[in-house]
């Protein structure tokens, strides 16, 4: 078997304070690192800052400073948009990888 083909990361843009900001999806390794942060004492803060830094390409210290000083709704929107482009969350806020609810369409 030959080498696997490169697969580019999903990208998009979002508005932050009226400015269009480019965002990208997390890599698989970054998504797993984000999940690992869930066990930390300050998981929400650490996870949000990590997501902002990776998804926007800013230095983690800059992401943390922005997170600490910004309007909560602006922070939440940026986090949501990065999560959506990373396919960690659907547009509706639900897990896009979850099994559909309701009757199963599988034959038994």
Q: How far is CA 38 from CA 17, 66, 103, in A?
A: 28, 21, 32
Alpha-carbon distance 1 to 18, whole Å?
A: 48
Residue 24 phi, psi dihedral angles, 5° rounding: -135, 160
Per-residue pLDDT of 84-108, as tens digits, reads 999 997 666 565 555 555 444 444 3
Residues in the chain where the model's pLDDT stays below 70: 1, 90-108
Whole-number pLDDT of residue 84: 96
Which of 95-99's residues contact partners 24+ apart within 8 Å by CB, and which partners?
none
Whole-number pLDDT of residue 2: 83
Domain ranges of the chain: 12-85
């Amino acid at each position: 078997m030959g080498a696997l083909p490169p697969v580019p990361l999903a990208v998009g843009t979002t508005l932050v304070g009226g400015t269009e900001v480019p965002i990208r999806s997390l890599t698989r390794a970054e998504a797993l690192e984000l999940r690992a942060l869930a066990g930390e004492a300050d998981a929400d803060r650490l996870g949000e800052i990590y997501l902002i830094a990776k998804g926007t390409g800013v230095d983690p210290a800059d992401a943390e400073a922005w997170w600490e000083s910004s309007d909560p709704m602006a922070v939440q929107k940026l986090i949501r948009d990065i999560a959506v482009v990373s396919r960690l969350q659907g547009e509706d806020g639900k897990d896009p990888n979850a099994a559909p609810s309701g009757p199963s369409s599988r034959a038994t």
